[in-house]
Amino acid sequence: MQIQTPYLLFLGDAQDLLSAKTAFGIAYWRPEKCMGQLRLPGCKVDLKIQDLSLEEAFQKGAKTLIIGVANRGGIISPEWIPILQKALVLGYDLASGLHQRLNDIVELKETAQLHKRFLFDVRHPQEDFQVATGLKRTGKRLLTVGTDCSVGKMFTSLALARDMKEKGFSVDFRATGQTGIFIASSGVSIDAVISDFVAGATETLSPNNQENHWDIIEGQGSLFHPSFAAVTLGLIHGSQPDAIIMCHEPNRPHMRGLPHFMLPSIEECIDLNLKAARLTNPNVECVGISFNTSLMPVSERLSFLENMEKKYNYPCIDPTIDTMSIVDRLKQSYKVAC
């Protein structure tokens, strides 16, 4: 799916940044695509971009109103419907990553049809995917994987793609989740694909390309998470990665949402991911470890990363600081001609 930019980010009456994480991610990574923010009375989140009305943003060139807030249950609040309808009448497309579909709301569907506008439910792919073939594709691919969910796989993928591009690589970020899709304006929300077709959808997401082109594929879940290991495995097999980066949050006490499951060690996680990836690419290698050190004091982060490099013998980064040691590793290992 292709979503028109620039965006107007709808924050509703969000009370904290976590509830507006989709909008925050878009504003952080693609500020050039964000015309402004639309907040309802009582909203406590400010993305530090311009507050605009629907009319003001549309006159400035905004094309898509994105629901950038998530509430409990992922529903579209009835209080939002008149605003969303007004946006369609003005000429906006609507986009949402919530569980409830825009297309299932009669008022919005009828208004969109009447005014020839598009409704994008990015969590719900509409393509018909084929089962995976496992056939080798041209080009190069890197997949971010994790010891757990929500450890920085999307952030690492975006930071690496950005820094590789700055160093002259031919590179694309391939989004597999709703926030990543909004950032990239395309992609597949892989966790909503029927299980038999996850690997095939990933093959479609990252097709044949030039020899030195890299696709940086956003990872999902973890092979060690009982709830989400299946989607991770499908991504691994379908992406056929030449390289993986292990993502980890230090000091996390247990798997997210599962206090009865302890985190695996980084070593066993790398080992299992490589074993799984060798089914479709026997030459895959781990090229680094990405640590989310956001909960550490700033003064301790660099020394922590240095100690981790000595311990694991891999480039160790925090993508909010620097990814260049992994970029250099890719240049050396794959003799990339930039």
pLDDT tens for each residue of 184-211? 888 999 988 999 999 999 999 999 999 9
Residues 192 and 308 in one domain: yes
Percent of the chain at pLDDT above 70? Answer: 98
Residues 100 and 207 in one domain: no
In a domain, residue 256? The reply is yes
Residues 150 and 273 in one domain: yes
Of 41 and 338, more confident: 41
pLDDT of 335: 63
Residues 325 and 291 in one domain: yes
pLDDT of 75: 87
Residues 176 and 322 in one domain: yes
Domain boundary among 121, 154, 189: 121
The yes-or-no verdict on residue 55 having pLDDT over 90 is: yes
Structure tokens at 211: 């020899």
Residues 109 and 147 in one domain: no
The yes-or-no verdict on residue 337 having pLDDT over 70 is: no
The yes-or-no verdict on residue 127 having pLDDT over 90 is: no
In a domain, residue 130? The reply is no
The yes-or-no verdict on residue 50 having pLDDT over 70 is: yes
Residue pair 242/203 in contact by the 8 Å Cβ criterion: no
H-only helix segments in 140-228: 153-166, 178-184, 198-205
Residue whose C-alpha is closest to residue 272's, from 260, 284, 262: 284
Residue 196 sits in a domain of what CATH number? 3.40.50.300
Give CB contacts under 8 A, 24+ apart, made by 175-180.
Answer: 175/218, 176/202, 176/205, 176/217, 176/218, 176/219, 176/220, 176/235, 177/218, 177/220, 178/22, 178/97, 178/122, 178/123, 179/21, 179/22, 179/25, 179/26, 179/97, 179/154, 180/25, 180/154, 180/218
The yes-or-no verdict on residue 102 having pLDDT over 70 is: yes
Mean pLDDT of 305-320: 96
In a domain, residue 110? The reply is yes
Residues 101 and 43 in one domain: yes
- Domain carrying residue 32: 7-121
pLDDT of 126: 76
In a domain, residue 1? The reply is no
Residue pair 276/236 in contact by the 8 Å Cβ criterion: yes
Domain boundary among 64, 94, 121: 121
The mean of the pLDDT values for the chain is: 93
Mean pLDDT of 1-5: 80
CA distance 151 to 320: 13
CA distance 186 to 171: 15
In a domain, residue 81? The reply is yes
Domain count, the chain: 2
User: Tokens 């379908």 appear where?
Assistant: 238
Residues 112 and 167 in one domain: no
In a domain, residue 188? The reply is yes
In a domain, residue 51? The reply is yes
- Confidence bin at 90 (pLDDT 50/70/90): very high
Mean pLDDT of 103-129: 93
In a domain, residue 56? The reply is yes
Residues 281 and 308 in one domain: yes
Residue whose C-alpha is closest to residue 143's, from 85, 66, 186, 199: 199
Residue pair 123/178 in contact by the 8 Å Cβ criterion: yes
Residues 167 and 286 in one domain: yes
Residue whose C-alpha is closest to residue 263's, from 147, 135, 184: 147
Mean pLDDT of 269-295: 96
The per-residue pLDDT for range 167-187, each reduced to its tens digit, is 999 999 999 998 999 998 889
Residue 17 sits in a domain of what CATH number? 3.40.50.720
Residues 111 and 173 in one domain: no
Domain boundary among 57, 87, 121: 121
Displacement of CA 51 from its chain's centroid (Å): 25
pLDDT of 1: 54
Mean pLDDT of 47-74: 92
Residues 102 and 55 in one domain: yes
pLDDT of 72: 67
